[in-house]
Structure 1
Amino acid sequence: MRKETIVENLNAVGERIVTCCNNCDRDPAEITLLAVSKTRPAEDLRIAYAAGQRHFGENYLQEALEKQNALQDLDIHWHFIGPLQSNKSRAVAEHFDWMHTVDRLKIAQRLSSQRPTNLAPLNICLQVNIDNEQSKSGIAPQDLEALAREVVQLPGLRLRGLMAIPAARQTVQAQHQPFLEMARLLHSLQELFPNEELDTLSMGMSADMEAAIACGATIVRIGTDIFGARNYSE
Structure 2
Amino acid sequence: MNSEELLVRLTAIRDRVTVAAEKSGRNGEEVTVIAVTKTHPATTVAHLYGTGVTDLGENRIQEASTKIDELGHDPWRWHLIGSLQSNKAAQAVRMFDVVHSVDTLKLARRLDRVLADDPERGPMRILLQVNVADEASKSGFDLRGPGDGERWERFLGVVREIAALPNLVPCGLMTVAPLVDDPEQVRPCFRALARIRDALREHVPDRDWRELSMGMSNDFEIAVEEGATLVRIGRAILGARS
Q: Give distance in 1, aligned partners of 2:203 and 2:23.
A: 31
Corresponding position of 1:132 = 134
Q: Give distance in 2, aligned partners of 1:76 and 1:171.
A: 33
SS at match of 1:108: helix
Q: State whether residues 3 and 51 of structure 2, in contact with CA within 8 Å, keep that contact through their aligned partners in structure 1.
A: no
Residue 124 (structure 1) shift: 0.8
Identity of aligned residues (%): 38
Choose from 205, 211, 233 the match for 1:194: 205
Choose from 148, 159, 173 the match for 1:148: 159
Query: Does 1:219 pair with 2:227?
Result: no
SS at match of 2:128: strand
Corresponding position of 1:183 = 194
Q: Give distance in 2, aligned partners of 1:104 and 1:78.
A: 21
RMSD: 1.4
Normalised by the length of structure 1, the TM-score is 0.93
SS at match of 2:26: coil
Query: Does 1:61 pair with 2:66?
Result: no
Residue 169 (structure 1) shift: 3.8
Amino acid at match of 1:72: G
1:86-165 → structure 2 map (5 Å cutoff)? 86-115=86-115, 116-141=118-143, 142=151, 143-165=154-176
Amino acid at match of 1:125: L
Listed as ranges, the gaps of 5+ residues in structure 2 are 144-150
Corresponding position of 1:205 = 216
Per-residue deviation, residues 22-58 of structure 1 (Å, max 9, x unmatched):
2332111210111111111112222112211000011
Amino acid at match of 2:163: V
- Runs of 4+ with >3 A deviation: 169-173
Q: Give distance in 2, aligned partners of 1:172 and 1:45.
A: 27
Q: How many residues align?
A: 231
Q: State whether residues 108 and 162 of structure 2, in contact with CA within 8 Å, keep that contact through their aligned partners in structure 1.
A: yes
Normalised by the length of structure 2, the TM-score is 0.91
Q: Give distance in 2, aligned partners of 1:160 and 1:37.
A: 23
Amino acid at match of 1:191: E
Listed as ranges, the gaps of 5+ residues in structure 1 are none
Q: Give distance in 2, aligned partners of 1:10 and 1:114.
A: 36
